[in-house]
Amino acid sequence: MKAEPDQYTSLMAVVRNRMTNRAFKPDCTIPTQHYEMILEAARHAPSGANAQPWHYIVITEPETKSLLADRFKAEQKARARVKMKFPTPNYEGIRSAPGVIIVVADFRFIKAFPVLNDGSDTDRMYKQNAERILLQSVAASVMSAHLAASALGYAVWWITAIGQKAIQQELKPLLAVPDELDIIDIMCFGPPLKASYKRWKKDLNQILHWDRFDPALFPTDDDIDTWIREHRHHVMYRDESRID
Ligand SMILES: Cc1cc2nc3c(=O)[nH]c(=O)nc-3n(C[C@H](O)[C@H](O)[C@H](O)COP(=O)(O)O)c2cc1C
């Protein structure tokens, strides 16, 4: 057996080359078939209890993209006003993104996972995990969609800055999303305006443990605070070759 079977090599070419880009070539139309190919990949994702608690809304109307961009730019300003120190990106790119897909999660499926539904402490404990199961399920599906878009040669952008209640209340009626459901993230994609760049990734020996958690790899709270203060903005917005 070869060290790297062909399928693994092909998969890793897609996985390595999936890169976030926040600005796309504006005058490109995504063929309907590409939306279907991307969501076909999303459809095959694994999920807890095989519940598949997701829906995807393809946005084709420029006015809706514009409204989304305006709402996100307002969010940028709101974060600046409350002095949130997160290095918020520029959301203007949503306006001209050729591909925009809204990801909708159905949290009611939490009851399809192991829970008691009797309001007890035990139930609460299981519900907390059920929520994690649901989030992991949707993420698995979204990731498949992102990899499919990358495999089609598109740059991708995963946007989650929409979970807050106020934004949900504004966006749901606009998109006719039933109140019971949640807009969990937005996927933008298209040919990149400027070439995508590879961001820093941890080395394998920083994340891989054998048999037991290796204490040498445990970051202290101070380590994390230092990382946030000194490195986060670089790893978010810089090419890995420009990270010291
Ligand atoms: C769960 C998740 C949430 C994210 N949320 C946002 C977001 O709200 N806005 C944004 O500009 N990028 C967002 N990103 C993109 C990350 O910033 C990006 O994946 C990260 O910097 C690593 O870069 P890479 O995708 O090129 O590897 C998100 C990515 C993931 C997986």
> Which ligand 1 atom minimizes the distance to the CA of 19?
26
Q: Residue 200: is its pLDDT beyond 90?
A: yes
> Which ligand 1 atom minimizes the distance to the CA of 139?
1
Of the CA atoms within 13 Å of residue 15, those in its CB half-sphere come to 7
Q: Residue 1: is its pLDDT beyond 60?
A: no
Q: Which of 43-47, 89-93, 125-129, 232-236 has the highest mean pLDDT?
A: 43-47
Of residues 113 and 134, more confidently modeled: 134
Maximum CA pair distance of the chain? 58
Residue nearest atom 19 in ligand 1 by C-alpha distance: 20
pLDDT value, residue 27: 86
The whole-angstrom distance between residue 219's C-alpha and the CA centroid of its chain comes to 24
What is the 3-state secondary structure of 20-77?
Answer: ECCCECCCCCCCHHHHHHHHHHHHCCCCHHHCCCEEEEEECCHHHHHHHHHHHHHHHH
- Distance in Å, CA 20 to ligand 1 centroid: 7
What residues contact 153, with CB distance under 8 A and at least 6 apart? 191
- The band of 116, judged by pLDDT with boundaries at 50, 70 and 90, is confident
CB–CB of 69/147 below 8 Å? Answer: no
pLDDT value, residue 161: 86
CA distance 236 to 22: 12
Q: Residue holding tokens 């039933």?
A: 178
* 3-class DSSP assignment, residue 165: helix
Extract the runs of DSSP E, i.e. beta strands, from 71-128. Answer: 99-105
- Tell me the domains of the chain and their CATH numbers: 6-196 (3.40.109.10), 198-244 (no CATH)
Q: Residue 78: is its pLDDT beyond 90?
A: no
What value does the mean pLDDT take over residues 28-55? 98
Closest-CA residue to 156 (of 46, 27, 14): 14
Residue nearest atom 1 in ligand 1 by C-alpha distance: 160
Q: Residue 142: is its pLDDT beyond 70?
A: yes
What value does the mean pLDDT take over residues 67-80? 89
- The band of 76, judged by pLDDT with boundaries at 50, 70 and 90, is confident
pLDDT value, residue 2: 61
pLDDT value, residue 82: 87
- Distance in Å, CA 7 to ligand 1 centroid: 26
The residues lining ligand 1, judged by C-beta closer than 6 Å to any ligand atom, are 19-20, 22, 89, 158-161, 199, 236
CA distance 220 to 133: 27
Looking at every residue in the chain, the average pLDDT score rounds to: 93
